[in-house]
Amino acid sequence: MAEELIISPGEREEIYHGLITQIKALIGDEKDTIANLANVAAALKQTLNFFWVGFYLVKGDELVLGPFQGPIACTRIQKGKGVCGSSWELSKTIIVDDVDEFPGHIACSSLSKSEIVLPLIKDGAIVAILDLDSDKIADFNAVDQKYLSNLCEWLVTVI
Ligand code: SME
């Protein structure tokens, strides 16, 4: 994988488009799970400057913190708990405009205001969760969901 991403400033949709194309090209045929998740977290954080970007990995009956970029975060999340555990339990993407309004939200930082969580589904089973936090209220929408879903669908082929 080359060490540099070349992303022109622009609307978020344009940035996603360029970023995801480059991530796919740059990871190429690398199959190491930790390496690929780590670089995807770094690429999203570096390019879109979200507050926190990372993965939780399904290990037995809980989620365990995986590669991430941002402040330290809680290590284990039970199924059905918080936004991540709910996304896992319901097997669906969850967008939270205001984390204070989400019952049971797990606050790793009081600076996090909105959140999007997507399940990574491989061979019909959820293997990980992608979590992005923003320090702005209602920072995620259908555009984020569209590009991040595409990224997750591809990512399960290289982990
Ligand atoms: N807020 C998440 C916990 C993970 S941190 O945001 C990194 C949740 O409610 O599941």
Whole-Å CA distances, 143 to 31, 68, 116, 148, 149: 27, 22, 11, 8, 10
Measured from the Cα of 87, ligand 1's closest atom is 10
For residue 19, give the H/E element and its range.
helix 12-27
Q: Is residue 8 scored above 90 in pLDDT?
A: no
| Residues in contact with ligand 1 (CB, 6 Å cut-off) | 52, 73-74, 77, 82-85, 105-106, 108, 112, 115, 131, 133
pLDDT in tens, 103-135: 999 998 999 999 999 999 999 999 999 999 999
> How close is the Cα of 2 to the center of ligand 1, in Å?
31
* Distance between CA atoms of residues 73 and 39, nearest Å: 18
* Distance between CA atoms of residues 131 and 116, nearest Å: 6
The long-range contacts involving 104-108, CB below 8 angstroms and separated by at least 24 positions, are 106/74, 106/77, 106/81, 106/82, 108/52, 108/71, 108/72, 108/73, 108/74, 108/133
* Distance between CA atoms of residues 47 and 30, nearest Å: 21
Of all residues in the chain, the percent with pLDDT exceeding 70 is 98
Give, in words, the CATH class of 12-155.
alpha beta
Measured from the Cα of 54, ligand 1's closest atom is 7
Please give the model's pTM, rounded to 2 decimal places. Answer: 0.95
Measured from the Cα of 56, ligand 1's closest atom is 4
Measured from the Cα of 108, ligand 1's closest atom is 5
> How close is the Cα of 131 to the center of ligand 1, in Å?
7
> How close is the Cα of 29 to the center of ligand 1, in Å?
31
